[in-house]
Amino acid sequence: MEKIRQFISACIAGFMIGMGGTVYLTQSNPVVGSCLFAVGLLTIVVFQLHLYTGKVGYLPLQKPAYLLELLITWCGNWVGTFIIANIVRVTRIYPSFAERAADIVSVKLADSPLSLFLLAILCGLLMFIAVDTFKNQSGSTIRLVAVFVPVMVFILSGFEHVVADMYYFSLVGAWSGHCLFMTIIMTLGNSVGGMIIPLYKKIFSV
């Protein structure tokens, strides 16, 4: 039952990231869009849902069994993004940003694996900062800032968030062998970025 709970939690988390991606696509102002995108992460941290980029950073501090939880989380996130993407596709709002979504996906899939990997590392680092600060700080102001600012930074900078990209790929029906390969590359990048601070703290005992 615990594994089922984790999977459902991850599906909801993926759904909420897709919700953030949807509102981002509807906004012409990128700053506003990036800010509103953070509704997804805010929901996830408040309700303690399973998001791959929010959990992978803690891998160095966990037992090997944690790898299974990460796999379940990744799969659930994919299912959640796939569900909301296909809901949005059949609504009246989709045509208004379909072209923009297709352009975003085209840029990502035309990029080099190295570029995507490095951009994903930077996003993974920001996501760990956001989630860990919300978890460990007591002040409501710093917790909210920690959720919204890193999300805005990674979106405005063009860094790669694998779960958000799962949503965009599903939204435009872009899944293919190449797309899956690029998704794995971004997963690895997010993983490396997310573990930078935990590894530093573990090695130097800080």
**In angstroms, rounded to a whole number, what is the distance separating the alpha carbons of residues 90 and 79?**
17
15-71 pLDDT per residue, tens: 999 999 999 999 999 999 999 999 999 999 999 999 999 999 999 999 999 999 999
Kindly list the structural domains of the chain, giving each domain's residue range(s) and its CATH number in brackets, ordered by start: 2-204 (1.20.1080.10)
- Does the pLDDT at position 94 exceed 80? yes
130-169 pLDDT per residue, tens: 999 999 998 889 999 999 999 999 999 999 999 999 999 9
Give the residue among 50, 25, 49, 37 at the shortest CA–CA distance from 149: 37
Residue 16: how many other CB atoms lie within 10 Å? 24
Residue 184: how many other CB atoms lie within 10 Å? 13
179-204 pLDDT per residue, tens: 999 999 999 999 999 999 999 999 99
Give the residue among 68, 197, 71 at the shortest CA–CA distance from 135: 197
**In angstroms, rounded to a whole number, what is the distance separating the alpha carbons of residues 119 and 136?**
26
Q: Report H helices in the chain.
A: 2-26, 30-37, 39-46, 52-55, 66-89, 94-110, 113-136, 140-157, 162-171, 177-204
3-class DSSP assignment, residue 118: helix
Environment class of 65 (CB within 10 Å of its CB; exposed 0-12, middle 13-18, buried 19+): exposed
102-127 pLDDT per residue, tens: 999 999 999 999 999 999 999 999 99
The pLDDT value recorded for residue 206 is 76
Q: Tell me, what amino acid is at 189?
A: G
The pLDDT value recorded for residue 205 is 85
Please answer whether residues 143 and 133 qualify as being in contact, where contact means their C-beta atoms are separated by less than 8 angstroms.
Answer: yes
